[in-house]
Amino acid sequence: MSIKEKFGIIREYPEKVNAKREALFVLLVILIGLILGFIAKATDSVSVMGEIGTYLGVWIFAATLIAAFSRSPLLSALHTLIFFLAMLISYYAYGSLALGFFPRAYFLGWLIIALLSPIGGFVVWFSRGKGRIAIICASIPIAMLIAEGHPAYYTYKIPLILDLIFALILIMILPKTWKQRGFVTLVAAALSLVLVKFYVLSFLPW
């Protein structure tokens, strides 16, 4: 059995990929990345909107949706990379051209993450499949959202509350059955505890 056939057991591949549809999807992904990057930087000094763009939640949520609803794992990896590169270009181009500010170290840090994002995109594509691997793949982005958003219960920060809302939405739309949703919730909760315990998110280039 080939690797593709093994992957197909987890989530079935489409028989054909429509080139025109994929080109439109890529354009949409680029547009979403450019718009979100622009909004994030343009509202950087606006309290609530600026905080939403600063936290990871909105980026994890958007990238997860793009990856999960792509037509194949390879396209998912490509779309995820394109999304983050478009976002970074828009975000830092606006900061450099409009504000005269370009933090090179932060840009390089996030560029490395963007270049690694296809791995996450590839994995997340299987979150809408079946079996244990699909449950684990769905749990990873949800766990990251819970790990970042859990202080919302005592800080009441809107971006953190949104993280938990995003996590709930993904729990509802990634798994295809209620049984899967239950397992995904349990695995994501356990994984989020590990992320919090070892301060994993603190290693990102904030």
What does the pLDDT profile of the chain (206 residues) look like in tens digits? 778 888 999 999 887 888 899 999 999 999 999 999 999 988 887 767 667 788 899 999 999 999 999 999 999 999 999 999 999 999 999 989 988 889 899 899 999 999 999 999 999 999 999 999 999 999 999 999 999 999 999 999 999 999 999 999 999 999 999 999 999 999 999 999 999 999 999 887 76
User: Looking at residue 206, what is its pLDDT?
Assistant: 61
135-160 residues labelled b (16+ CB within 10 A) or e (exposed):
bbbbbbbbbbbbbbbbebeeeebebb
Distance of alpha carbon 62 from alpha carbon 72, whole angstroms:
17
Mutual orientation of helices 104-125 and 73-99 as an angle, nearest 10°?
Answer: 160
Q: Which residue is associated with the tokens 């680029």?
A: 30
Q: Which of 78, 84, 44, 41 is nearest to 60 (CA)?
A: 84
With contact defined as beta carbons under 8 Å apart, do 44 and 31 qualify?
A: no
Q: Which of 135, 124, 40 is nearest to 89 (CA)?
A: 40
Helix then strand count (H, E) for the chain reads 10, 0
User: Looking at residue 47, what is its pLDDT?
Assistant: 65
CA distances (Å), 56 to each of 94, 159, 205, in order? 19, 9, 11
User: Looking at residue 119, what is its pLDDT?
Assistant: 98
What is the pTM for the complete model shown? 0.94
User: Looking at residue 11, what is its pLDDT?
Assistant: 96
